[in-house]
Amino acid sequence: MAEKLLEIKNLKQHFNVGKSNMVKAVDGITFDIYKGETLGLVGESGCGKSTTGRTIIRLYNATDGQVLFNGENVHGKKSNNQLKAFNRKMQMIFQDPYASLNPRMTVADIIAEGIDIHGLAKSKTERMERVYELLETVGLNKEHANRYPHEFSGGQRQRIGIARALAVEPEFIIADEPISALDVSIQAQVVNLMKKLQREKGLTYLFIAHDLSMVKYISDRIGVMYFGKLVELTTAEELYSNPLHPYTQSLLSAIPLPDPESERTRQRKTYDPAVHQYSADDKVEMREVRPGHFVYCSEKEFAQYQKEYKS
């Protein structure tokens, strides 16, 4: 059994909007992330994917719940040194590689920011050597070090963002739609780079996406979110071959098929949350329908999913 790197337990992030409104962006999600895996997180716009990532990495304080990293509570009371150590272990890559890179800083300074904060280089020379090495690692080169972000293409900027994240030698990277803003032709290159880095450095990824084709390619397991809840979680292969939650089925039915003939006859399934009809005493929770295949459901639905699976 693989080792758990993160345990997310009943995590909630509720935002107060105005005087009397509350958005339950993340509303009680529970899942583990194993060492060395890529966990994909999908769901339509506004379902809470980014908020989940941001809360895990402590950009927000959690409204409720726990995040354990190597067994240690990320959100508990911490000294500044402990917080700094966490910041080093968890890094984030963002969707828009332009907005997330300071336009006034050279690539070298952008990449070395974490090295400076955490005192990872003993001298200026060592710092620059580290920057050059990181540039090579992400498929750029020395000559790029003294240039500014605007001189690069979208794909190259994302490589700079990746180098910046790697600079502090993290164990875990949250990638929030890292390829959505890139040309399709560049997307695979960045994903392949991320895969290569994962193999070489034993990294663990939380890969947030709303494009279901790319996420299948990169993820070992995939979680599906709907309105702040995780509704299904299983291996990538299993999710696509045996989706059980009606929302997952609807999401998958929206993927265009490569074969024109099947695409012409593709049936889109719409999801109607009213199909669930939960009553007050229904215990609705993540239940393991098959080993490693979790679905958010009541006991009655659980029995139904099991039957469905057998037939």
Ligand X SMILES: Nc1ncnc2c1ncn2[C@@H]1O[C@H](COP(=O)(O)OP(=O)(O)OP(=O)(O)O)[C@@H](O)[C@H]1O
Which residues bind to ligand X, rule: CB under 6 A?
A: 15, 17, 23, 25, 43, 45-51, 210
What residue 48 binds from Mg ion, ligand X, none (CB within 5 to 8 A, per partner kind)? ligand X
What residue 155 binds from ligand X, Mg ion, none (CB within 5 to 8 A, per partner kind)? none
Alpha helices by DSSP H, 167-227: 184-201, 212-218
CB 42 within 8 A of CB 223: yes
**Alpha carbon separation from 278 to 28, 281, 282 (Å, rounded):** 17, 8, 6
Min dist. Cβ of residue 210 to Mg ion (A): 8
* CA quadruple 215, 217, 219, 220: dihedral, nearest 10: 150
Q: How many residues bind Mg ion (CB under 5 A)?
A: 1
What residue 1 binds from Mg ion, ligand X, none (CB within 5 to 8 A, per partner kind)? none
What residue 51 binds from Mg ion, ligand X, none (CB within 5 to 8 A, per partner kind)? ligand X
Closest CA to 49 of 83, 95, 6, 91: 95
Min dist. Cβ of residue 310 to ligand X (A): 33
Distance in angstroms (rounded) separating the CA atoms of residues 223 and 165:
24
Binding-site string for Mg ion from residue 120 to residue 139, where x marks contact by CB under 5 A and - marks none: --------------------
- Nearest residue to Mg ion, scored by beta-carbon proximity: 50
Min dist. Cβ of residue 2 to ligand X (A): 26
What residue 45 binds from Mg ion, ligand X, none (CB within 5 to 8 A, per partner kind)? ligand X
Judged by beta carbon, residue 34 or residue 60, the one nearer Mg ion is: 60
Min dist. Cβ of residue 173 to Mg ion (A): 16
Phi, psi of 50 (to 5 degrees): -65, -40
Non-local (6+) Cβ contacts of 198 within 8 A are: 36, 38, 204, 205
Min dist. Cβ of residue 30 to ligand X (A): 17
Min dist. Cβ of residue 269 to ligand X (A): 20
* CA quadruple 218, 216, 30, 89: dihedral, nearest 10: 10
Min dist. Cβ of residue 47 to Mg ion (A): 9
Distance in angstroms (rounded) separating the CA atoms of residues 247 and 241:
15
Judged by beta carbon, residue 110 or residue 174, the one nearer ligand X is: 174
What residue 309 binds from Mg ion, ligand X, none (CB within 5 to 8 A, per partner kind)? none
Judged by beta carbon, residue 96 or residue 169, the one nearer ligand X is: 96
- Looking up tokens 């990449």 gives 111
Phi, psi of 73 (to 5 degrees): -70, 115
Judged by beta carbon, residue 222 or residue 297, the one nearer Mg ion is: 222
Rounded (5°) CA angle 126-92-37: 100
Q: Which of residues 22-81 bind Mg ion (CB under 5 A)?
A: 50
Q: Which 8-state DSSP code applies to residue 2?
A: P
Judged by beta carbon, residue 83 or residue 254, the one nearer Mg ion is: 254
**Which residues are near Mg ion by CB under 5 A?**
50
